[in-house]
Amino acid sequence: MDEKTADIQPVLRALQVLEALNLHKVTPLAVLHDLTGLPKSTLVRLLDTLIAGGYAERVSRLAGYALTERVLQLSGGFHHADKIVEASRPFLSALTAQHKWPLALATPDDDVMLVRFSTRAESPFASDKEYLGRRVPMLLSALGRAYFSFCAEDECETLMKLMRSSRARRNAMAKDERAVARLVTQIRERGFATTSPAPGDTLAGFAVPVMKDGRPLAAITLRYYGSVMNEAEAAQRFLVPMQDAAKAIAAGV
């Protein structure tokens, strides 16, 4: 390890601990060890530093550690989390509190959807790792399908051109215009989108668009285990609450 690398290692480790603490309201030292892979002695030193700086606090020896409000200052210069993200927080958190499943909001980013907000840390059933900040496929994910299917014609054409010109496997469906048209028709008729089935994937997404003035601004999704309920059951339980939340989010933008 050269001198430059050695100098930045403590900073990178401290950021790693901050990210791990952000996954739960309160995190025991043993869980932080599992999440980061760092020795417990190193974790204690880093946590003491974060506590001294006001970014973390020790709740108790048994419960572990938690972030403080000071960490919000670290995102003060980050403007990409726009109004719609802030508007979504109370409504998605309320849905998770009521139904227990994790929810997320995503907005388009070129030919994918970028997850901007997630209630993963608030759900007892969350199993997705690092869902926040994930880039999910436009035509395979529930989020992408919900957004794309309600796009105006001009935006739809632009997205299709981006995907058809891509060599990424996630965009292969864009080359089959009839299949895409059938998918869009089905989603518009039902009012919701679901994740494209993938071998070995135990989680499913159930998503609706956030519409404003006839155009989608974003999409919200609820993540659940396919073994717990099927698509029809998910629609019966969650479609109306999620559509109501989407309308409330749009009204707050």
pLDDT tens digits along 90-148: 999 999 999 999 999 999 988 999 999 999 889 888 776 667 788 999 999 999 999 99
pLDDT over threshold 70, residue 74: yes
Q: How confident is the model at residue 1 (pLDDT cuts 50, 70, 90)?
A: very low
Can you tell me the distance from the alpha carbon of 148 to that of 167, in angstroms, rounded to the nearest whole number? 19
Strand order in the sheet with 215-225: 135-137, 112-118, 103-109, 215-225, 203-212, 193-194
Q: pLDDT digit string (tens) for 191-225?
A: 999 999 877 678 889 999 999 999 999 999 999 98
Q: pLDDT digit string (tens) for 164-174?
A: 998 899 999 99
**pLDDT-above-70 percentage for the chain:** 93
Matching residue, tokens 């550690």? 65
Looking at domain 3-75, does it have CATH number 1.10.10.10?
Answer: yes
Which structure tokens are listed for 236? Answer: 């019966």
Q: What is the pLDDT of residue 81?
A: 46
- pTM recorded for the entire structure: 0.69
Q: Locate the domains of the chain by residue range.
A: 3-75, 83-251
Terminal alpha carbon distance of the chain: 48
CATH of domain 83-251: 3.30.450.40
Give the residue ranges of DSSP H helices in the chain: 3-21, 29-36, 40-52, 83-99, 142-149, 153-164, 177-190, 231-251
